[in-house]
């Protein structure tokens, strides 16, 4: 079985803007890949019309042998106007549900992500309620480039709602974003190649924030999927947090376990470009502090150009370890996926 946890249906500008409605669609949508750092290449691996066609994406998944795909459209990051942000998230969910989840070509493969605007927690909770009864939505998706770290208390009700509704939380770097915080602690890099290389940073900041703020301590069943950081990169940073935890804990006494314990319990990592060449990927266990084969979920990142095929991930691992990455870990981690698959097997 193959479960692809990172497929990105592109909502075409025209249809998306029509769905967003007035007066917000009087403004042009920002470009999908952002406008500050233009790539010296086409960032879509397929023609644009195929990236926004459910039939074409379904065909791609069928050819790749994918049984289930978790789809998450982008809503271009953080929108400063809260009413507009609400309209954009709702339009994305509606368009996605109608056009993609209901597409007959999906043949049951398509699973969805609920987009929420983070400007106002109450509005976000209402948007979750609007869609969460539909079991095909298996997760929330929030942008990695955020204006605050996700361990902050103001976001907590959203994570609690995710747990209550059996939804995972996917943190994804949307690239194109209206409000862009400086992408690094030293401000703005100069080139696309830099932006492309440092994408994991924001996810590492959120992960550390979740752990240290005690979100995983308070919500032991919260499931966070990180879309843009490899398990090796995250683990090396978390080990660094472990190192001085006997001393650092004084400020945050609610953290009752070593930081890496939470990483292993509450977080999974979508396969990354660095997995394909990293020496840490050659063995499933023991390279950076533990068993990585239980922490990675396969994501093709289709239709982006730096995506990966299932047969190319962790090629040196045993069949059993690869099977965990390609399907078993996702089945265990996404509560709704486990329920869906066991229901289908028994029916």
Partner 1 sequence: MRYVVGPVADLPPGSSKVVFPEKVKSGVGVFNVNGEFYALKNTCPHMGGPLCVGKVRGTSAAEMPVDCQPEVHWVRHGEIVSCPWHHWEFDIKTGRTIFESRQKVRSYPVSIETAEEFERLKAGVETIPVSVEGATVVLDV
Record the tokens describing residue 216, joined without a space: 């995983």
* Shortest spacing between CB 149 and partner 1, in angstroms: 14
* Shortest spacing between CB 159 and partner 1, in angstroms: 13
> Can residue 122 be called a binding residue for partner 1 (CB under 8 A)?
no
- Do the strands 110-115 and 137-143 form a parallel or antiparallel pair, or are they unpaired? parallel
Crossing angle of helices 259-266 and 200-212, in 10° steps, is: 110
Q: Site for partner 1 (CB under 8 A): which residue of 185, 190, 247, 346?
A: 247
Residues 44-83 that bind partner 1 (CB under 8 A): none
- Which span (25-33, 107-115, 238-246, 268-276) binds partner 1, by CB under 8 A? 238-246
Q: Site for partner 1 (CB under 8 A): which residue of 94, 165, 239, 245?
A: 245
Nearer to partner 1, 104 or 253 (CB): 253
> Can residue 214 be called a binding residue for partner 1 (CB under 8 A)?
yes
Residue with tokens 């229901």: 343
Nearer to partner 1, 185 or 247 (CB): 247
> Can residue 218 be called a binding residue for partner 1 (CB under 8 A)?
yes
Coil/strand/helix, residue 288: coil
* Shortest spacing between CB 251 and partner 1, in angstroms: 7
Instruction: Output 318-323 pairs: Cβ under 8 A, ≥24 positions apart.
Output: 318/284, 321/284, 321/293, 322/293, 323/1
What string of DSSP letters covers 218-235? H-TT--EEESSS-HHHHH
> Can residue 188 be called a binding residue for partner 1 (CB under 8 A)?
no
For residues 198-235, one letter each, b for 16 or more C-beta atoms within 10 angstroms of the residue's C-beta and e for the rest, the string is ebbbbbbbbbbbbbbbbbbbebeebbbbbbbbbbbbbb
Which residue ranges make up the site for partner 1 (CB under 8 A)? 153, 156, 214, 217-218, 244-247, 249-254, 256-257
């Amino acid at each position: 079985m193959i479960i692809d946890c990172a497929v990105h249906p592109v909502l075409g500008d025209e249809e998306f803007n029509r769905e967003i409605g007035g007066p917000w669609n009087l403004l042009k949508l920002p470009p999908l890949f952002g406008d500050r750092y233009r790539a010296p290449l086409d960032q879509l691996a397929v023609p644009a019309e195929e990236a926004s066609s459910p039939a074409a994406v379904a065909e791609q998944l069928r050819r790749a042998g994918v049984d289930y795909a978790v789809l998450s459209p982008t809503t271009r990051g953080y929108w400063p106007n809260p009413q507009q942000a609400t309209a954009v998230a709702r339009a994305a969910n509606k368009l996605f549900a109608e056009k993609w989840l209901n597409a007959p070509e999906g043949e049951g493969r398509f699973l969805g992500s609920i987009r929420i605007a983070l400007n106002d927690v109450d509005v976000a909770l209402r948007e979750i309620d609007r869609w969460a009864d539909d079991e095909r939505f298996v997760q929330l998706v929030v942008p990695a480039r955020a204006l605050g770290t996700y361990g902050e208390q103001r976001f907590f009700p959203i994570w609690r709602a995710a747990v209550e509704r059996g939804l995972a939380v996917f943190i994804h770097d949307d690239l194109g974003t209206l409000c862009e915080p400086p992408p690094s602690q030293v401000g703005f890099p100069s080139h696309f190649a830099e932006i492309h290389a440092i994408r994991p940073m924001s996810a590492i900041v959120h992960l550390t924030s979740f752990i240290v703020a005690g979100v995983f301590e308070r919500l032991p069943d919260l499931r966070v999927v990180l879309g843009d950081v490899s398990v090796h990169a995250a683990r090396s940073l978390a080990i660094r947090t472990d190192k001085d935890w006997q001393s650092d804990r004084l400020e945050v006494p609610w953290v009752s376990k070593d930081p890496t314990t939470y990483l292993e319990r509450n977080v999974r990592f979508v396969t990354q470009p660095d997995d394909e060449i990293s020496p840490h990927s050659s063995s499933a266990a023991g390279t950076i502090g533990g068993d990585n084969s239980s922490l990675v979920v396969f994501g093709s990142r289709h239709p982006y150009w730096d995506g990966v095929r299932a047969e190319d991930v962790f090629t040196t691992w045993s069949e059993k370890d690869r099977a965990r990455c390609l399907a078993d870990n996702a089945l265990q981690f996404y509560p709704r996926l486990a329920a869906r698959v066991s229901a289908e097997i028994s029916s």
